[in-house]
Amino acid sequence: MQSGLRDGNSAVQSGQVADPLTAELAYVEARATRARAVGHALVVPLRLAGAADVGGAIAVLLIGRDHLLSYFGPAYLLVLVLGAAWYRHYARRHGVWLPVRPWVVIIVPTLAASATLSRLGFVLDQPLLQVVGPGLGNAVAVAVTGGWLRSARLVFTGLAMVIATGVAAALSTGDRAVSLELLAYGLLLWNASRGSR
């Protein structure tokens, strides 16, 4: 009996798993551990993005919705730089590396689409498109990020952002509606970061 245990342990130590159930349990545990690590790594970038959106809620009241790219361009660049630094720090401490390129691939088109929709609403004299379009682009970006990271919380946050966009557009117009959207987005992202720990 002792020799059977010894043989099983030596098989595991040599990289061979004798029992498929053990292999499946190890795989499930490894995935769960990685998911928890990714959740922890997301806390800082989500809070930075939430803070940028809350700052945008103030900025829109000061500079107007037609000039928000001048705020969000540098703000999101700062979020990317600080988020990348956080990822490097987190990777060194915990051994989980998250790539920054997908964030860039998501944020850059989102900024471009948001600015284009806002400008299109202005050119077509459609204030609703100007107010709602950029917010919906932002919500889609959060949902796509959630899908990329396999985070149901982020996908639901993106859906909640769509609802917040509709509520803000129903309650107010113009710069105030955009300010309400951005405030809601910031709070939703901060809440999403709480669940990522």
12-70 pLDDT, tens digit each: 555 565 677 887 877 778 777 777 777 777 888 899 999 999 999 999 999 998 888 89
114-173 pLDDT, tens digit each: 888 888 988 999 989 988 988 898 898 889 888 888 888 889 999 999 999 999 999 999
Higher pLDDT, 91 or 183: 183
Q: For residue 88, what pLDDT is reported?
A: 87
User: Which residue, 117, 140, 136, is CA-closest to 65?
Assistant: 117
Q: Render 29-49 in DSSP notation, one character per residue.
A: HHHHHHHHHHHHHHHHHHHHH
Find tokens 């998250």 and name the residue.
98
The alpha-helical segments, DSSP class H, found in 64-173 are 69-94, 101-123, 127-149, 152-171
Q: In angstroms, rounded to a whole number, what is the distance separating the alpha carbons of residues 165 and 25?
A: 42
| Distance, first Cα to last Cα, the chain | 44
